[in-house]
Amino acid sequence: MNKPVDKALWLLSTSRSAIIIIAGTAYVMITKSTAFGLVGHITPGLPAFKLPPFSIVDPSTNITHSFTDILSEESSALIVLPLLGVMGHITIAKAFAGSDRVDCTQEILCIGISNAISCFFSSYSIGGSFSRTTVNAMSGAESPAGDFRQSTAFSYPRR
């Protein structure tokens, strides 16, 4: 096919999210539209170190669910979901490690410690992203900020 057309289509397909964000931002700035809600004030810096909440208040009924209620109601999900996350992370590591060795025990330990620490800062859980890793690999990311080989999953020495 035509090489410039192929390049243009590749650029369009890999940058479609950026194009939508730039177009949406330009629309809001030009029209002064209030179609998009603003987040509001975001406190700079890390959140305060505190114990995670051990109860949840349902806003629709104003009923407080205790930690034991949550455990009894979500017991199967509390076992299955972390296993799925770890299996996905190890699959990503093995898929992109090539001939390098992947130590699954170290992967599980790193994910567990990271998630245990993050809960004290009201953070989201931590895990790998197969799609982001694939995009970085296919686009030839070379910088430390985007290079998939810089993550813990790919930093093991060759044996």
| Per-position b or e across 17-48, b if 16+ CB within 10 A of its CB | eeeeeeeeeeeeeeeeeeeeeeeeeeeeeeee
Tell me, yes or no, whether 74 and 135 share the same domain.
Answer: yes
Q: Which residues pair with 64 in a beta bridge?
A: 57
pTM value is: 0.55
Whether 159 maps to a domain, the answer reads no
Helix segments in the chain, DSSP class H: 3-14, 16-31, 67-73, 75-97, 104-118, 130-139
**pLDDT(134) > 80:** no
Residue-wise pLDDT for 23-34, tens only, equals 988 888 888 877
Q: Which residues pair with 65 in a beta bridge?
A: 56
Tell me, yes or no, whether 53 and 66 share the same domain.
Answer: yes
Residue-wise pLDDT for 70-124, tens only, equals 888 888 888 888 888 888 888 888 887 878 888 888 888 888 898 889 889 888 8
Whether 33 maps to a domain, the answer reads yes
